[in-house]
């Protein structure tokens, strides 16, 4: 059952990442010069520290990294919730926790972005909205997947 829960979470995570990415693209053009996942990829491709210089293959790497992270965090949520149909509020709380750990912790730690406490309010609002969408979609998708397998 652990594998089934992880796979269901991964599927839900992929769909939730797609919804989140759409929200980033549509609703946050003013908040970001470039999307947060691109900052992270550039930090890795620049061997630490953010760079304004585009790198070869960064667009594909950004899509793969963001989708991979969304799928992985979805799989973890699937495992953590077991076979239960998680409340949407739990999915939202989980997504906000992932956002906090990432954007207050490891992303500033690698020099990709400033911590939330020092970021622009418009970026924080856009990040929060996108993660709310991720969490709601993650839990809703898992609920649907798990209602079919009972």
Q: In terms of Cα–Cα distance, which of 107, 4, 90, 110 is closest to 49?
A: 110
Range of 130's domain?
A: 2-35+66-148
Q: For residue 135, is it within any domain?
A: yes
Q: For residue 113, is it within any domain?
A: yes
Query: What pLDDT does 50 receive?
Result: 52
Q: In terms of Cα–Cα distance, which of 112, 107, 87, 98 is closest to 34?
A: 112
Average pLDDT over residues 7-12: 98
Say if CB 14 and CB 74 are below 8 A apart: yes
Q: Where are the beta strands (DSSP E) in 5-106?
A: none
Q: For residue 49, is it within any domain?
A: no
Q: For residue 54, is it within any domain?
A: no
Mean pLDDT of the chain: 86
Q: For residue 95, is it within any domain?
A: yes
Average pLDDT over residues 82-104: 96
Which tops the pLDDT comparison, 19 or 62?
Answer: 19
Is the pLDDT at 3 greater than 90? The verdict is yes
Q: For residue 52, is it within any domain?
A: no
Q: For residue 76, is it within any domain?
A: yes
Which tops the pLDDT comparison, 31 or 7?
Answer: 7
Q: For residue 43, is it within any domain?
A: no
Q: How far apart are CA 24 and CA 85, in angstroms?
A: 27
User: Structural domain tally of the chain?
Assistant: 1
* Confidence label for 107 from pLDDT (cuts 50, 70 and 90): confident
């Amino acid at each position: 059952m652990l594998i089934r829960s992880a796979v269901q979470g991964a599927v839900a995570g992929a769909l939730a990442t797609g919804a989140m990415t759409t929200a980033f693209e549509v609703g946050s053009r003013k908040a970001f010069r470039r999307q947060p996942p691109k900052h992270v990829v550039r930090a890795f491709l620049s061997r630490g520290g953010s760079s304004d210089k585009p790198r070869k293959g960064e667009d594909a790497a950004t899509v793969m990294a963001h989708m991979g992270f969304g799928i992985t965090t979805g799989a973890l949520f699937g495992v953590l919730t077991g076979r239960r149909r998680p409340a949407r509020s739990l999915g939202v709380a989980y997504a906000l926790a992932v956002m906090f750990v990432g954007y207050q912790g490891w992303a500033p730690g690698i020099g990709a972005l400033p911590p939330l406490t020092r970021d622009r309010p418009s970026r924080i609002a856009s990040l929060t909205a996108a993660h709310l969408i991720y969490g709601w979609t993650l839990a809703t998708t898992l609920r649907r997947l798990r209602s079919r397998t009972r």
